[in-house]
Structure 1
Amino acid sequence: MRQLNKLESTVYLLGGIVMVAGAGLYAFFLIQSVACWLMLAGAAGFVLMQSRQRYLGTRLAVRRLRRIMTLAGWGFILSGLFMVEDCYHFLRPAFTGSLDGYSSYVSIFHHNWVILLLISAVLEMYTTHRISYELKKEGGEGSD
């Protein structure tokens, strides 16, 4: 795997910390109007730097896991967007033409950022550990 340079590693780490801090602040109803933007910015920085790590090997398992990790990254960003929508209701006027429309809006956006964040976090943890295992296995094959 391509290693990140010092600046990229710093952005990666800060993005993860800001993403977690934003989600925590929002979940505990603390400065939600700022926390949702922190979550989105942190997710964007985290995912962008994660995408800079490329796998140049030929193992199909690692390539598949990287695709799953990319899906988890999109889930983090989508979770941040849902969180912003949950706070500011930018799209609500487009749905509130009828009672069914408002019901659809609530069922799509109302606090569903939590589900996206949870799914993405589980996928991220799984792929991180599996990629680490596969890369150790790859490095150890020729050393017998």
Structure 2
Amino acid sequence: MKQLSKLESVIFLLGGVLMVVGAACFAFGFSHPQLVQVTSWGFLLGTILFSVMQAMQVYEGPSLVIHRLKRMQYVADIFFVLSGISMVDTVYAFLRRWFENYETYITYFYNKWVVFLLIAALLELYTTHRISHELKKENNQ
């Protein structure tokens, strides 16, 4: 697995921290609308930083299992970014005009960032654990 440079590692960690702080502040910050507006953009920035740095960490070995797990991790990265876009849309409703009526928008898209985040987190948890296990197994052989 290609290691990230020191700067890339800092950006990766910063992205993760922005994601956690942004999601927590957004979930508990509805009493302060100005806070929600700022944290939604912070969360989106965090998802982009985290996803890009994780995508830069490529696997160059022969294991097909790890290659498959890395592809699953790329899917998780896409879901992270979708959750960030959905969170920003929950605040600003910029995708509202793409839907026929408000009820359809509320039903299918509004505040669905949690679903995207849950899917991404589950995929990330699984792939991180399995990649770690497979790399240990590969190093022992």
TM-score normalized by structure 1? 0.92
Partner of 2:84: 80
Counterpart for residue 93 of structure 2: 89
Report the equivalent of 1:119.
119
Q: How many residues align?
A: 137
SS in 2 for 1:93: helix
CA positional deviation for 1:109: 1.7
- Higher alpha-carbon Rg: 1
2:46 to 42, 45, 49: 42
1:94 deviates by 3.7
What residue number does 2:75 align with? 71
Query: What value does the CA root-mean-square deviation take over the aligned residues?
Result: 1.0
**What is the CA–CA distance in structure 2 between the aligned matches of 1:115 and 1:94, rounded to whole Å?**
20
Q: What is the CA distance between 1:93 and its match in structure 2?
A: 3.2
Superposed CA offset, 1:85-125 (max 9, x none): 00001122343x5xxx2222111222110011011001101
1:57 corresponds to which residue? 61
Q: Which residue of 1 aligns with 2:22?
A: 22
Counterpart residue identity of residue 36, structure 2:
Q
The aligned residue for residue 2 of structure 1 is 2
Runs of 4+ in 1 over 2 A off after TM superposition: none
Secondary structure (helix, strand or coil) at the match of 1:110 reads coil
